[in-house]
A and B are shown apart, each in its own frame.
Chain A
Amino acid sequence: MSGRAIVVTSGKGGVGKTTATANIGLSLASRGQKVVLIDGDIGLRNLDLILGVENRVVYNIVDVVSGRCQPRQALVKDKRISSLFLIPASQIDQKEAINADQMRDLSTQLKEEFDFVLIDCPAGIEQGFRNAVAAADEAIVVTTPDVSPVRDADRVIGLLQGSLGEPQLIINRMSMAMVKRGDMLDQQDVLDILAIRLLGIVPEDEAVVIAGNKGAPVVLNGGSPSGDAYGRIARRILGEDVPIPELNGHSSFAKRLGQFIFGR
């Protein structure tokens, strides 16, 4: 068996890469896939915290590639969904503690056993980025509809096109109210600018903050708009044809006419 290795990247930090990795991983695992998440952000370990498994981390990825432990020993098993595993980052090492070849070898090894290897890429385009990309066959680029993340996403897309081909895009933290007011780039604007395939749109959602607080990602609690969005994204990754809801904020002519006449 050879699974799919997908890197989740963005260029800009703080756009929701780790949250996206955790939620997509949980979502795929809850659909019967065997999934391993790799925290590629060496020195700034966070995926364990977002998943809520931080107390069960023993070994980390640097231990694995340096031969201090077997990959199996470093796998942290999720207690909620038994087919989800995490290889945590090291908190004390530098990005240079691992090279691209080691990451590629580890990923090849894991693909033998898992359906999906999801790699949470660190921000930036330096060594950590190159390592994470080396381990992957496909890429997901996460951005928010703001000027600097979109600019950085474009840079990353350019870098990926040389090695992994065309990535797919997730637009995170879309605020319907702001799109409606014309104060936020809508999905079409972002796609006009970046010109890549859209994998999904995740609405701005307070539930993500609460999920982070609890270490229980949004997909675990049904009913939140962001959790539903990640569920649809996972289904698209699995090849299902799930339409992307129009989140462009433009209201219908009839609705606008009503607002014009009745003032509300």
Chain B
Amino acid sequence: MTLTERIQIFFGKSGSGSKDAAKNRLLLVLQDDRLGLTGEKKEALRKDILAAIRKHLDIDAEGFTMEFMSSATDQKEMRVTAPVQLGRGAVNLSK
């Protein structure tokens, strides 16, 4: 047994730990299942949010993506992140 393996066992880890991937993927997919949040609905939401932001801010529409994340500790909580790229106009203004 190598030292690394011994250290891993000491900290309670020895395999590839793929169960964390299973748990995270399940929490995410089940959140969508429970909410009835289909890919189509997500896309409609993405477009609405993009339109809402663009009413107030000059942002790049091309790369606008939204990520839905579940909380591992609280299944009643969902996080939606949508990083925005500032549009050309906004960037030029700041210069």
Interface centre among A181, A250, A259 (most CB of B within 10 A): A181
B34 touches A158 (CB 8 A): yes
- Looking across the interface, which residue of chain B has its beta carbon closest to that of A154? B30
A263 touches B6 (CB 8 A): yes
| Chain A min CB distance to B7 (Å) | 7
Q: How far is the CA of A155 from the CA of B35 in the complex (A)?
A: 11
Contact with A along B10-51 (1 / 0, CB 8 A): 111111111110110111011001100000000000000000
| Chain A min CB distance to B15 (Å) | 3
Number of chain B residues whose Cβ lies closer than 8 Å to a Cβ of chain A = 26
- Looking across the interface, which residue of chain B has its beta carbon closest to that of A146? B22
B13 touches A182 (CB 8 A): yes
Neighbouring A residues of B93 by C-beta, 8 Å: none
Contact with B along A151-179 (1 / 0, CB 8 A): 10011001000000000000000000011
B12 touches A193 (CB 8 A): no
Neighbouring A residues of B10 by C-beta, 8 Å: 256-257, 259-260
Given A158-B34, A264-B1, the answer on whether A182 and B22 have CB atoms closer than 8 Å is: no
A260 touches B6 (CB 8 A): yes
Q: How far is the CA of A192 from the CA of B30 in the complex (A)?
A: 12
- Interface residues of A toward B: which range? 20 to 34
CB of A150 within 8 A of chain B?
Answer: yes
| Chain A min CB distance to B21 (Å) | 9
Q: How far is the CA of A251 from the CA of B14 in the complex (A)?
A: 12
- Looking across the interface, which residue of chain A has its beta carbon closest to that of B15? A181
- Looking across the interface, which residue of chain A has its beta carbon closest to that of B16? A183
Tell which of A146, A182, A250, A251 touches B17, judged by Cβ atoms closer than 8 Å: A182
Neighbouring B residues of A185 by C-beta, 8 Å: 19, 22-23
A 197-227 contacts with B by CB, 8 A: none
Tell which of B14, B22, B25, B75 touches A181, judged by Cβ atoms closer than 8 Å: B14
| Chain B min CB distance to A60 (Å) | 35
Neighbouring A residues of B16 by C-beta, 8 Å: 181-183
Neighbouring A residues of B91 by C-beta, 8 Å: none
Q: How far is the CA of A183 from the CA of B21 in the complex (A)?
A: 9
Q: How far is the CA of A151 from the CA of B23 in the complex (A)?
A: 11
CB of B9 within 8 A of chain A?
Answer: yes
Given A154-B30, A158-B34, A257-B10, the answer on whether A147 and B25 have CB atoms closer than 8 Å is: yes
CB of A69 within 8 A of chain B?
Answer: no
Given A182-B16, A184-B19, A264-B1; 7 other pairs, CB 8 A cutoff: A155-B33, A158-B34, A181-B17, A182-B12, A185-B23, A189-B22, A263-B1
